[in-house]
Structure 1
Amino acid sequence: MPEGDTVFRVAARLHEALAGERITRGEVRHPRLAELELTGRRVREVRPVGKHLLIRFEDGGTLHAHLRMDGTWQTGPPGARWRRPAHRARVVLTTERSQAVGFDLHDLRWLPTSAEHRVLGHLGPDLLDPGWDADSAAEAARRLTVDPQRELGTALVDQRVLAGIGNVHKSEICFLLGRLPGTPVGELDAQQVVRVARDQLRRSAERGSRSGNPGERTRIYGKRVCPRCGTAVRRTRQGADADSRITFHCPRCQV
Structure 2
Amino acid sequence: MPEGDTIWRAARRLHSALAGRVLTRSDLRVPRFATADLTGRAVLDVTSRGKHLLTRFDGGLTLHSHLRMDGSWQVYATGERWRGGPTHQIRAILANAEQTAVGYRLPVLELIRTADEQGVVGHLGPDLLGPDWDPAEAVRRLTADPARPLGEALLDQRNLAGIGNVFKSELAFLAAVTPWLPVGQLPPGVPERLVATAHRLLEANKDRSDRRTTTPRQPGHSLYVYGREHRPCLRCGAPIRKAELGDRISYWCPSCQKGPSDNPSGEPVPPN
Report the TM range for the smaller structure's normalisation. over 0.9
Residue type at the aligned position of 1:63: L
Q: TM-score, normalised by structure 1?
A: 0.92
**What displacement does 1:121 show?**
1.3
Displacement of 1:48 after TM fit? Answer: 0.3
**Within the alignment, does 1:182 sit opposite 2:180 as a pair?**
yes
Q: Does 2:251 match 1:248? A: yes
Query: What is the CA–CA distance in structure 2 between the aligned matches of 1:91 and 1:5, rounded to whole Å?
Result: 22
Question: Which residues in structure 2 correspond to 1:145-184 (within 5 Å)?
Answer: 145-184=143-182
- How big is the alpha-carbon RMSD for the aligned residues of Structure 1 and Structure 2? 1.6
Distance in 2 between residues matched to 1:113 and 1:215, nearest whole Å: 45
Q: Distance in 2 between matches of 1:218 and 1:208?
A: 13
Q: Provide the rounded CA distance (Å) in 2 between the counterparts of 1:117 and 1:254.
A: 38
- Residue equivalent to 2:4: 4
The corresponding residue for 2:204 is 203
- Does residue 139 of the first structure (1) align with residue 144 of the second (2)? no
Q: Compute the displacement of 1:160 (Å).
A: 1.0
Instruction: Note if contact 1:169-1:210 (Cα within 8 Å) is conserved in structure 2.
Output: no
Deviations 1:206-225 (CA, angstroms, capped at 9, x unpaired): 23233246964422101122
CA contact (8 A) 2:126 2:132 kept: no
1:233 alignment partner in structure 2? 240
For residues 131 and 158 of structure 1, do their structure 2 counterparts lie closer, same or farther at Cα, with a shift above 3 Å needed? closer
1:220 to 216, 225, 230: 225
Letter paired with 1:60: G
AA aligned to 1:150 is R
> For residues 24 and 215 of structure 1, do their structure 2 counterparts lie closer, same or farther at Cα, with a shift above 3 Å needed?
farther
> Which stretches in structure 1 are left out of the alignment for 5+ residues?
none
Inter-partner Cα distance in structure 2 for 1:200 and 1:178? 16
**Higher mean C-alpha deviation, range 91-100 or range 200-209:** 200-209
Give the corresponding residue for 2:262.
none
Give 3-state SS (helix, strand or coil) of 2:249's partner.
strand
Structure 2, unaligned runs of 5 or more: 259-272
Mapped to 2, the partners of 1:190 and 1:2 lie a distance apart of 24
Q: Report the alpha carbon displacement of residue 4 of structure 1 after superposing the two structures with TM.
A: 1.0
The answer to which structure has the higher helix fraction is 1
Letter paired with 1:69: M
SS in 1 for 2:98: coil
- The sequence identity of aligned pairs, in percent, is 51
Which residues of 2 match residues 77-92 of structure 1 at below 5 A? 77-83=77-83, 84-92=85-93
Do structure 1's residue 30 and structure 2's residue 35 form an aligned pair? no
Q: How far is the alpha carbon of 1:87 from its aligned partner?
A: 1.4
For the residues of structure 1 that align with 2:93 and 2:220, how far apart are their CA atoms? Answer: 33
TM-score, with normalisation over the residues of structure 2? 0.87
| Matched residue count | 248
